Structure 1
């Protein structure tokens, strides 16, 4: 589900609305990171500090979503006036319980040039003070009855809470302006019944716009005034809705601690609610009642007044950036959406509407390769189902062979405007297609077909794929379980002309296609080492991977022990011999640094010359970790780019732990004091070649420091984070495992609780990262296990230095387990397939 497309507010609860405002994204912010020199990234002390900080924050965003997603959403936000970006309603409970998380999220947005308009309530705080004053709160029809004493307390509470939020933002270096009055003009709602309660009829935008022009976030309360100056109390939800009605923002956000709305029957979070399609049926659900029903109704009433591009998001403060900048989003998105239509008879279709979509979005039509009339004429010989939406922003065409019902249907085209993608309309169409067809095939020709729906979109929706290295196209499918049937269906399907986008191949031959069905073959080069042994064990228990080759110069001719799927013998493969192993889908290169390059060059030459199909290469050495043409394989930060990739550089073990330790705090680093990583590894990390660093006798009662400056992992982590770090490695007497003690100077004063909440939010949902509550991780608890454990979270008394401790197994998550994650993503399996999850 799209997050920016989730245009509106995600946190529908009386706790918070995100009322964001402005978006000023500079062109420099959207440059590809590859164009930013390392010197510029490091040059925090120069006059370019602000630009460097923005680029660093943007780079951090690339780790929660693909670069294309992030830049697409930044451009989208920057396309509207500042005050029309978003409105955030923050409830009083959030200000009490999640203040630092909220401030961190707002600071994050501001660092990339966004100015959310924030409106807050203070209900729980008021109730406490009223109780202390001996005033019992009175409500009528859910509205707080407000007498003079209650209003006096309300004014004090709102002023105090407003300043608390403003001060917290300023401490984080984010300019903010308190606006406690002068925005909402109201009459008495019903003076006899409710007392000093207002009914807003006008909103003064000048105070908000002035704050944004001055570069400060506007922080509003929900107090209103009559024309003659009488202060009136207004429910914060109502005030936020009135503000949104006037500003017409892209997003309206309600922050809640549950991170969305949950289905009362299944217990699962609802990702998207399309009101035009689902509203009536949703209200009939037995679990939709009380507060849930009220909120859905309020959202509909609000969105009915706003442009169709607006939406409401219900989300927690800690997931705000993921909701805004990734396709998957994080909470619950509520939008009006559009009605969807399916036609099985081309004569009933508005041909002008279809022509407009094809001419605007179809690469083949735009290039003149085929005309609209020609394409529609050719469809008449097939069974056709055409899917579109009410405004004509999405078009999908599915055909089937009337002479052979057993053949899978073919998705001829799926075209979507950028607006439709941002609003998830393409996903809605796709869901309709999935309901109608149990099996489907489709083709993505090349990058020209990925204008709005990139290749990862297709990989995420397919069971498997076939690649054609001759023209770079990929054939996708779902619902085809038999491998041979998949190949026959995909290679033989499609139109005879072969010119239309999303048509399938009519080639009779199969050579050049690498099957991506539910079983894949893996070859391991460098199988003698400890990592190779662990990788063999993982593949042995993997449901979709088969090991077909184990190559080791020293073990050549010996039987492979411990692998039960088949009987294998060690071989000693030379680079030129790889092309003969056509059944291999992926090669894992578990070789020392500087050794694997001949194998890589040979594979690429064989593919280029047509002697071999494309292969996935996963390199466990450091040879390609600095090569921008290879994908850096740290899935927790880069899974979108790893999905479907063919060249993956597996990170180093120390580098994995160090990045896990530092990355959540990247926006808060002191620019003038780099983090320092003190690392201790078991001696398995020194390899099998005898040396003092893996000699148990030499290590007994000992700790050996080495490579005290300029270690390759120091360079790797600095390169990937975009900021320098210091790294001091050691070898200890234990066999496997790594402990990292990481000292992180901070730009702002923070508490241990702040640090812990940032890490918990950052790694929420990550199956191989465990954030500890109030303890430090120990090596012995991680040895032989596949996850990273992060803990400690100590902060110096002055609040400007944090210490984080991270443990992982150097042979598993530091190497073999991570390689399996990367293989799974590259070959389109579940990321955690074959990995024991605790």
Structure 2
């Protein structure tokens, strides 16, 4: 399927009298995994309203808009939704999109296609649908005894083939029209009369045409009548001879705008690696791409046609290849999926001023650099500074200098980490993702990097996306990536703080009475999900009084994604725990939803503010739900004011799981040490399930245990990645971190012996299954093994031993682990144990509450549902 849309910076254009001229367009891509049921429901609701006769009323329009608004909040970010709603209310009503539908889509995804087209029509678009029928035609040709023949990827069309093709196109055309009409969407079949053509090469290809013109009046008449035009890829010569034309090319001729190919594979895939190609920049990659052995036949033809099409369009034009279910996401969001193809510009990377285009360099600095625009620095002085940088620099950008990045090889503070000194871009470059291209290029040269951005930067979200950590102070945010040890992070943050003036620090930390209303953002929960089992942080702030001391007050620092929400839910139903503060960089100032004990607002607590709250006695325990490697400043701040009684800290990261001075919080094996403990390291999810599976047989082990772990994709976090991309996960199982995973080291450390661990991600959302192979040092039966486990966990309310094999779907959402299987090899010297555990609950949030209960002198299972 192809979608072509005509855009300006202000929104969608209506189909104008100049259509189909080569319009100016943006190349913003919007391809994300679709929740098809959501937009089908919205489409159905809108269709019901129309059938009830309200389609022309203001009430129906408002109701439909509300339905669409709710839907969009499910498929896009708040920023994206608000952007679209501005278009919805302000842009001219007659907007169009061109959709090319492959024959396979008509056969396999007709309902999905009809729902998607209906949805577009409901939000004010007039999709012009152009379809092919390749698979259907091949089927009928085979029945008629006609062998399909191709040359250069083009079907050779003789008289018999053309006769059958006409019948197929008519039948498929009417099938799509009927599917749309059933959903209340008016559609008009236009199997001919739209395209004029001449023979491509009659002797070589037969009745195959090359399009020479488009009869736009036929299409516009249909749209004026309120019916969607449904076209076929048949054209006519001036003498009236019908010719078969390439549907992809026809759609390009029809639109001459940004084009999106929607296929069932959701993109182009590298034939050697099997991986989806995210971006193709033709200016740099086209020649090498065509030399690849897997680029042949239809794939080669399609790439060539895309290149020819883009050569005749503005350089900002692009082609995206995605699947049918992403149509609404392409139009209404900014995130990416599938394969984006664009002409692009060749990128440069230079390490001297002589290699740079001084005029273009000066222009982008003057037009886009805030420091130059504000007068803080002149272009000349900046260039002089670059020329005298001690260890040199490297500049990156594209040919027209729409993007400029400058990396200094040392930040001149002694940390040894290169500093991204500038990263500036025009709006067009941001829209066209040139920034991502430049970033990818410089990241190859600089795997570790630091940089500073003003907190009011309009593209700050982009920087958060690229960073693995951040720290904000006095209106500036320090970002970093590739810093894998806490010591380096501490040095970088300390140097950043040293650069702040004393007055700015005082202004940021003073005014204790106005903390909730005017707090500055501080330590970030940005993290690298590959090193953390949890998810990106959210922090909160309580506006309630802390006068009551008959309950324990909890502060959450970095309430991270799904785990944070489970913690909040558990505390909300806990009779002896209440939330005082919860910190979130992203939601600062907004009310916390799902917590009913008192009104809570999110805040962004700095280490200094956590220190103040600890010193004032407003909190009984802090839960540190931060990424690996970044919680030490908070721990140090708390410990610096502890006098007499220590504060209870429960850390959900891996930072202290290997530290003997912290209590390892796996109650089933360490319960005696948890009452009164003030430093608790919460175990990892995989590590909890693995230890529960192995420990009862520890003394009977005769070799190294092997653990095959499979987790739901909630464990991969909310930040888009292949490991939480539902389309990538569909019918798939993804292995990752096959050796030296943090949980492999954690389990080995806690058990005192080596284990092998192999983690995988599966298409389900929540839960973990572990298949554990245990070599034995003596012969045992299945019954004997099971008895050992039953005895070990007889009194454990959060561990259930089964006779059969536990299943993930039966344990998802439960607060206990299940262990079963106990399959013994015929030799009697090897047993396989299967365990299931919810990665967000007993693997994280539930276990944290269990540990807090024991530490604070409460009942161990208080507030934890046991059924």
Q: Distance in 1 between matches of 2:6 and 2:593?
A: 45
The one of 454, 459, 484 equivalent to 1:481 is 484
Deviation at 1:364, TM superposition (A): 4.1
Q: What is the 5 A alignment of 1:151-166?
A: 151-166=162-177
Report the CA distance shift for 1:760/1:515 in structure 2 as closer, same or farther (over 3 A).
Answer: closer
Counterpart in 2 of 1:96? 107
Q: Distance in 2 between matches of 1:47 and 1:56?
A: 14
Q: Distance in 2 between matches of 1:763 and 1:50?
A: 38
The one of 351, 364, 370 equivalent to 1:357 is 364
Report the CA distance shift for 1:50/1:478 in structure 2 as closer, same or farther (over 3 A).
Answer: same
Deviation at 1:225, TM superposition (A): 1.3
Deviation at 1:428, TM superposition (A): 0.6
Q: Distance in 1 between matches of 2:222 and 2:576?
A: 57
Report the CA distance shift for 1:760/1:361 in structure 2 as closer, same or farther (over 3 A).
Answer: closer
Q: Distance in 1 between matches of 2:451 and 2:163?
A: 66
Counterpart in 2 of 1:491? 494
Report the CA distance shift for 1:819/1:444 in structure 2 as closer, same or farther (over 3 A).
Answer: farther
Task: Output one character per residue of 1:191-218: Cα deviation in whole Å (capped at 9) or x when no partner.
Answer: 4554433232222223233434444433
Report the CA distance shift for 1:293/1:402 in structure 2 as closer, same or farther (over 3 A).
Answer: same
Counterpart in 2 of 1:411? 420
Counterpart in 2 of 1:330? 337
Counterpart in 2 of 1:804? none
Counterpart in 1 of 2:595? 622
Q: Distance in 1 between matches of 2:83 and 2:184?
A: 27
The one of 468, 472, 486 equivalent to 1:463 is 468
Report the CA distance shift for 1:409/1:93 in structure 2 as closer, same or farther (over 3 A).
Answer: same
Deviation at 1:335, TM superposition (A): 0.9
Aligned pair 1:175/2:181, yes or no? Answer: no
Report the CA distance shift for 1:356/1:496 in structure 2 as closer, same or farther (over 3 A).
Answer: farther
Deviation at 1:126, TM superposition (A): 2.6
Task: Output one character per residue of 1:440-479: Cα deviation in whole Å (capped at 9) or x when no partner.
Answer: 1112321x21x2x242x223322222233xx354321112
Q: Distance in 1 between matches of 2:385 and 2:839?
A: 52
Q: Distance in 2 between matches of 1:371 and 1:316?
A: 48
Report the CA distance shift for 1:381/1:822 in structure 2 as closer, same or farther (over 3 A).
Answer: farther
Counterpart in 2 of 1:438? 447
Q: Distance in 2 between matches of 1:782 and 1:496?
A: 53
Report the CA distance shift for 1:22/1:345 in structure 2 as closer, same or farther (over 3 A).
Answer: closer
Q: Distance in 2 between matches of 1:314 and 1:584?
A: 33
Report the CA distance shift for 1:484/1:91 in structure 2 as closer, same or farther (over 3 A).
Answer: same
Counterpart in 2 of 1:263? 270
**Over aligned residues, Cα RMSD in angstroms?**
5.4
Counterpart in 1 of 2:436? 427
Structure 2 contact 276–338 (Cα < 8 Å) conserved: yes
Question: What TM-score, normalized by structure 1, do the two folds share?
Answer: 0.57
Structure 1 contact 22–81 (Cα < 8 Å) conserved: no
Q: Distance in 2 between matches of 1:356 and 1:52?
A: 49
Report the CA distance shift for 1:768/1:262 in structure 2 as closer, same or farther (over 3 A).
Answer: closer
Q: What is the 5 A alignment of 1:195-344?
A: 195-243=206-254, 247-250=255-258, 252-344=259-351
Counterpart in 2 of 1:64? 75
* 1:292 match: secondary structure: helix
Counterpart in 2 of 1:691? none
Deviation at 1:434, TM superposition (A): 0.7
Deviation at 1:274, TM superposition (A): 0.8
Structure 2 contact 591–601 (Cα < 8 Å) conserved: no
Q: What is the 5 A alignment of 1:757-796?
A: 769=764, 782-785=809-812
Tell me the number of residue pairs that the alignment of Structure 1 and Structure 2 aligns. Answer: 573
Deviation at 1:70, TM superposition (A): 4.9
Deviation at 1:437, TM superposition (A): 1.1
Larger mean Cα displacement after TM superposition, 123-132 or 180-189: 123-132
Q: Distance in 1 between matches of 2:497 and 2:536?
A: 30
Counterpart in 2 of 1:129? 140
Q: Distance in 1 between matches of 2:375 and 2:298?
A: 55
* 1:443 match: secondary structure: strand
* 1:438 match: secondary structure: coil
Q: Greater relative contact order (Cα 8 A, min sep 6): structure 1 or 2?
A: 1
Q: Distance in 1 between matches of 2:97 and 2:320?
A: 10
* 2:269 match: secondary structure: coil
Deviation at 1:492, TM superposition (A): 1.0
Structure 1 contact 83–209 (Cα < 8 Å) conserved: no
Counterpart in 1 of 2:747? none
Question: What TM-score, normalized by structure 2, do the two folds share?
Answer: 0.55
